[in-house]
Structure 1
Amino acid sequence: MAGTFSLRIVSPEGNVLKEDVEFAVIPGELGELGILPNHAPLIAGMDIGVLRYNLNGAVKRVAVAGGFVEVIENSAIVLADTAELSEDIDVARAQEARERAKKRLSTRTNEIDVRRAEYALRRAAARIEASVGKK
């Protein structure tokens, strides 16, 4: 790949990442978005998932949930509702959250907020996927 572009990921907690990367795949609301150097300007909504990027030939991962991405002037800025670098993810905690959400969904009662449980399940799955490096 020829060249790099600036990838910046920001969440309400602060700056998560700022690197010059070779390639990025972002979980968009309508599917994955591939970003290369000198990409055309773009603004898109993001979904829950794993953001992947190439840094010095190695694939790195970040679990993200919601937000927006803006690509302009050889720079991609991700404004995420939540974002966690793969190395910062507590896998045991994510697995516990996944099991809690599955249990809530399997016992659907009037007290259960199904939408919230589904969101928690998808977010836990993304965190686990980012931490173990699965595609």
Structure 2
Amino acid sequence: MATFKLEIITPQKVIYSNDVDMLITRTTEGDMGILANHAPLVTELAIGEMKIKIGKDEEKYFVSSGFLEVSKEKVLILADKAMKADEIDIEKAKKEKEVLEAKLKKLNEDRDIAATEHSLKEALTKIKIGETL
């Protein structure tokens, strides 16, 4: 199977840089699979799980928002947040979830509600991904 270069970058650091067989990630349009020689593309990422396949091995990641760019040279993911599934602290994510749910009940401005709902969705997704390991 042909491979392609994948880079995952957050504002803090390069999370991943390697040749891969396949990438499956969540976009704002739905889940998307990328193979070598994919047509050029730029799309927005949604909060969700990303799977990287190399041979028979599969690595799972949490990704929160950002952009995916497919070019001839590589696939680039610029994510607000990204982490390998086995690095997720499930207990911390559950505590975040509880705090955010309580905060959400007290908010009354649309902007604050949207930001808190986004953070809550991140915590719930981390829990779901982390518990699948």
Mark yes or no: TM-score above 0.5: yes
Deviation at 1:25, TM superposition (A): 1.0
Partner residue, 1:81:
80
Q: Partner of 1:39 in structure 2? A: 38
CA contact (8 A) 1:28 1:47 kept: yes
Q: C-alpha distance in 2, partners of 1:99/1:131?
A: 17
User: How much does 1:99 deviate?
Assistant: 1.6
Q: Report what 1:15 is aligned to.
A: 14
The CA RMSD measured in Å over matched residues stands at 1.9
Write out per-residue CA displacement over residues 39-98 of structure 1, whole angstroms, 9 at most, x where no aligned residue.
Answer: 111111111111111123122111111111111115211000111111221111111111
Identity across matched positions, percent: 30
How far off is 1:103 after superposition?
A: 2.3
The alignment partner of 1:68 has SS state of strand
Q: Give the CA deviation at 1:132.
A: 2.5
Partner Cα separation in structure 1 for residue 123 and residue 37 of structure 2:
33
* Equivalent position of 2:55 in the other structure: 56
Instruction: Return the match for 1:110 from 95, 108, 130.
Output: 108
Indicate yes or no: 2:27 matched with 1:28. Answer: yes
Q: Which residue of 1 aligns with 2:100?
A: 101
Check whether the contact 2:48–2:62 (CA below 8 A) recurs between aligned residues: yes
The 2-side partners of 1:15 and 1:25 are apart by 19
The answer to whether the Cα contact below 8 Å between 1:41 and 1:71 also exists between their aligned partners in 2 is yes
Q: Please, what TM-score do these two structures have when normalized by structure 1?
A: 0.87
Alignment-derived partner of residue 67 in structure 1 = 66
Shift of 1:115: 1.1
Task: State the match for 2:130 in structure 1.
Answer: 131
Question: Using a 3 Å threshold, how does the CA distance of structure 1 residues 132 and 6 change in structure 2: closer, same or farther?
Answer: farther
Cα distance change of structure 1 residues 120 and 23 upon mapping to structure 2, 3 Å threshold:
same
How far apart are residue 111 of structure 1 and its match? 7.2
Unaligned stretches of 5+ residues in structure 2: none
Aligned pairs, number:
132
**Equivalent residue of 1:3, what SS?**
coil
2: CA distance between counterparts of 1:50 and 1:16? 15
**Hey, what's the Cα distance between the residues in 1 that align with 2:131 and 2:5?**
25
